[in-house]
Amino acid sequence: MQATPQPEQMTVLPAQKPLVTIVHASVGSGHKAAANAIAQAFDLIRGTKGIPEDIEIEVLDILDFGRIKFDGNKTAASFTGATRPIYDLTWRYTLTGHLLWGGGTAWSRIMFPAFNEYIRRRRPIAVVATHITAANVAVGARVITGIDYPVICVPTDYEVEGFWPHKDTDLFCVANEFMAETLRPRKVPESKIRITGIPIRAGFDTDYKREDELSKFNLPIDKTVVLVMAGASLPQPYVRFRAAMDHTLPFLRSFEDMHFVFLPGKDKEYAARLKTLFDAMKLDNVTVLDYVDDMAALMHGCDLAILKSGGLTVTECLCAHLPMILLGKSYGQEKANTTMLTGMGASMHVTTARELIVTLRHLHDHPESLKALLINGEVLRRPRAAEDIAIATMELVGKPQKRKRAFCRFYWGGKPAHIR
């Protein structure tokens, strides 16, 4: 995988090797993680399954190419407070099923001329997008430059937002049939929908021995190990999650057959606060781990996870055979994820600390309930999604498509398959 080039460095000649560009947006961590997972898959299977041995892969952040520089994480954080319902409107309400944005060139010309220049110079054979901004900019660049390449869209949650360039996308790689049902009313033909799963990093399809993995992290093997995933690169969305967990702390002692493992991510201040608090409370069934590199191994060793309903994280839990309790109210893509997982019986959902304590008591006293969650989640488990997306991308290379040029295109879709 090549280093990410910056727009001001783009003075190179067109790629001599076949180049696949994977574009994300640094809004949270999931879109980038999915892009890196797909790039990793290309590297792992290069020379096989239709992937050229000499293929070149570049992973780019579309926000690096914007005329106006802004922090995607801070922008995303602005939708975690009172404005969250507005964010929710861009998802599965009736409007997004009827009046859909079809892609144009004006926005790309004004806001992302650097990416258009990148396409002219590098001439990729395909562009894979894991974020709607990246997808729409890739479509605009294709029209502006006249350089034809397939655009593959990879939503990283269990729903397809209304602003993807539906009619200008060559292939949607989605998690399951539920998501495909949201694309059909938006006039996406069946030939352009493929159910691959959500791409995650390699290692989650590896066979692990629970006892060995728990021993690596000095965790007990004779208890139900509960992973509390309370940290990420973007701390703001975890404020409510952490507040709810704080209210459960005095009750953790009562779950004698459970051991709780808190993951604060890279938030060292939060980790230090937890350690100080647990020492003062003299809790002996709690561990705080610093940043963990081998999450696949840790997840395979644990028996239950408490987490927010982020698309990549819940997918990793599914692939690691790790039952879930989703904690907190959710909006936008997280609401779609919660609806999907609970509807399939693949997770439990609680919104308050009191509900969480009651649910933990049930699972503590009836651990066999965890098996039901595992069985129900199996239908969503696709640990090789990234590899399937890489193969599907190469299948489109070199196949000319009839494309219509348009400054801006709006069109009427059918009634959404799923209405909130």
pLDDT at 349: 97
Helices (H), 148-218: 177-183, 210-216
Residue 78 — pLDDT band, cuts 50, 70, 90? Answer: low
Task: Categorize the per-residue pLDDT at 205 as very low, low, confident or very high, splitting at 50, 70 and 90.
Answer: confident
Average of per-residue pLDDT values in the chain:
87
| Secondary structure E strands in 202-359 | 224-229, 258-263, 286-288, 304-307, 324-327, 348-350
pLDDT per residue as tens digits for the range 109-131: 889 999 999 999 999 999 999 99
Residue 291 has pLDDT above 90, yes or no: no
Using alpha carbons only, what angle is made at residue 178 by residues 92 and 237, rounded to the nearest 5 degrees? 55
pLDDT at 95 exceeding the cut of 60: no
CA pair distance 331, 334, nearest whole angstrom: 5
> Tens digit of pLDDT for each residue in 357-398?
999 999 999 999 999 999 999 999 999 999 999 999 999 998
* pLDDT tens digit sequence for 242-261: 999 999 999 999 999 999 99
May I ask the CATH class of domain 210-379?
alpha beta
Percent of the chain clearing pLDDT 70 (strictly above): 84
Q: What's the residue count for the chain? A: 420
What is the pLDDT at residue 12? 47
Q: How far apart are the first and last CA of the chain?
A: 40
Q: Is 12 within 8 Å of 122 (Cβ atoms)?
A: yes
Query: In the predicted model, what is the mean pLDDT of residues 254-283?
Result: 93
Give CA 237 to chain center in angstroms: 15
Instruction: List, for residues 9-40, the tens digit of each pLDDT value.
Output: 554 444 579 999 999 998 878 899 999 999 99
Mean pLDDT across the stretch 149-170?
91
Among 352, 140, 346, 378, smallest CA distance to 248 is for: 352
What is the model's pLDDT at position 100? Answer: 52
Pick the CATH number of 19-200+384-396 from 3.30.2130.30, 3.40.366.10, 3.40.50.2000, 3.30.300.350: 3.40.50.2000
Name which of 1, 26, 112 is nearest 76 in CA terms: 26
- pLDDT of 3 above 60: no
pLDDT tier at 105, thresholds 50, 70, 90: confident
Inform me whether the pLDDT recorded for 209 exceeds 80. Answer: yes
Q: For strands 99-101 and 410-412, give the pairing.
A: antiparallel
What pLDDT sits at residue 81?
58
Q: Where in the chain is the domain with CATH 3.40.50.2000?
A: 19-200+384-396, 210-379
- 8 A C-beta contact, residue 380 and residue 320: no
Q: What tens digit of pLDDT does each residue of 308-329 get?
A: 999 999 999 999 999 999 999 8
